[in-house]
């Protein structure tokens, strides 16, 4: 199998949410921001290559709504393993002793390198925490000299992570609906429908009930301008990526629709 190293370029919405959510951590906002991007990148990898029922992102809701994170010690659960995503600008952070020093409680660590110039993420690889501990113990006992200026980063191919679970092909479970936060929409088939603003596009696997019945399909949440106008700020000046956070913080009423039941307002820009 080819070595699996993956490059991820965040969208404008990803970047804005990663930055705004990082404000919750005043101690080191910059480090928290790239940590958020690392988690977003790994979520895309999971969605692309592993069944959604076999992984869970602990902070998905927190980052989507820019709220404080969960108190879980790990970021993801994949095939029953607790996984922490370590994102750093400095690849020396991925040396075994540094990884174990910062986190020896989870089952697996995924290593994500942030490239400042492009503001992108490279998913370098992963390793079992117990294996990292063993490497540290071995290095402490080893009497020989390590190569000068040459360090071994203990990583497994990202592709090998998918082999911890059942055999699956390329999953491609990305959302199919065409909407993004900020889009103007109306209910399809209703000539008297009022225009609404998309504030939130939910992950396809989210279980949502309407009128006591679970939605079969992808869900979109919208707010109506009349409700948004009642908020304390000028919502039209808010970045589209932060509309869900604004509505959540200000208790603005939102409505959930199946994406098939909405259409773009005529003349609206996608």
pTM of the model: 0.85
Of 60, 103, 112, nearest to 82 (Cα)?
103
pLDDT given at position 201:
92
Mutual orientation of helices 29-49 and 12-22 as an angle, nearest 10°?
140
Of 23, 16, 70, nearest to 40 (Cα)?
16
Structure tokens at 249: 């913080």
Neighbours of 71 (CB within 10 A): 6
Check: CB of residue 197 under 8 Å from CB of residue 167. no
Place of tokens 């589209």: 240
pLDDT given at position 170:
52
Structure tokens at 259: 């994406």
Residues 6 or more apart in contact with residue 51 via CB below 8 angstroms: 165, 166, 168, 171, 173
Residue 111 is classified by DSSP as E
Structure tokens at 200: 């939130």
pLDDT given at position 153:
79
User: What are the mean pLDDT values of the chain's consecutive 10-residue runs (270 residues total)?
Assistant: 79 94 81 95 92 91 87 89 96 91 91 92 95 85 63 84 73 75 92 91 78 76 95 92 94 92 71
Check: CB of residue 106 under 8 Å from CB of residue 82. yes
Neighbours of 262 (CB within 10 A): 21
Neighbours of 115 (CB within 10 A): 13
- 3-state secondary structure string, 196-232? EEEEEECCCCCCCEECCEECCCCEEEEECHHHHCCCC
Of 93, 97, 56, 59, nearest to 77 (Cα)?
56
| Three-class SS state of 249 | helix
Question: Residue ranges of the domains in the chain?
Answer: 6-164, 184-264
pLDDT given at position 176:
76
Check: CB of residue 177 under 8 Å from CB of residue 198. no
Of 263, 261, 244, nearest to 185 (Cα)?
263
Tell me the pairing of strands 219-223 and 196-201.
antiparallel
pLDDT given at position 269:
42
């Amino acid at each position: 199998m080819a070595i699996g190293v993956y490059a991820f370029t965040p969208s404008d919405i990803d970047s804005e949410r990663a930055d705004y959510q990082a404000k919750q951590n005043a101690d080191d906002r910059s480090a928290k921001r790239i940590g958020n991007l690392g988690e977003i990148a790994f979520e895309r990898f999971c969605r692309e290559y592993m069944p959604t029922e076999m992984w869970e992102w602990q902070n998905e809701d927190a980052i989507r709504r820019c709220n404080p994170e969960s108190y879980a010690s790990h970021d993801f659960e994949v095939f029953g393993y607790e996984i922490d995503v370590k994102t750093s600008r400095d690849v020396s952070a991925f040396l075994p002793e540094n990884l174990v020093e910062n986190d020896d409680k989870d089952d697996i660590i995924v290593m994500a390198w942030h490239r400042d110039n492009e503001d992108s993420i490279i998913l370098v690889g992963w390793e079992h925490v117990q294996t990292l501990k063993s490497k540290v113990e071995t290095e402490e006992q080893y009497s020989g000299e390590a190569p000068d200026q040459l360090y071994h980063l203990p990583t497994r191919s990202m592709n090998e992570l998918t082999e911890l679970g059942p055999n699956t092909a390329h999953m491609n479970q990305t959302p199919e609906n065409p909407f993004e936060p900020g889009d103007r929409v109306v209910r399809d088939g209703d000539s008297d429908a009022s225009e609404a603003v998309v504030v939130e596009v939910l992950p396809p696997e989210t279980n949502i009930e309407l009128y006591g019945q679970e939605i079969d399909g992808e869900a979109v949440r919208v707010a109506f301008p009349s409700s948004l106008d009642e908020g304390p700020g000028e919502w039209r000046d808010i970045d589209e990526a932060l509309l869900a956070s604004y509505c959540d913080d200000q208790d603005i009423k939102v409505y959930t629709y199946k994406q098939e039941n909405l259409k773009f307002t005529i003349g609206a820009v996608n």
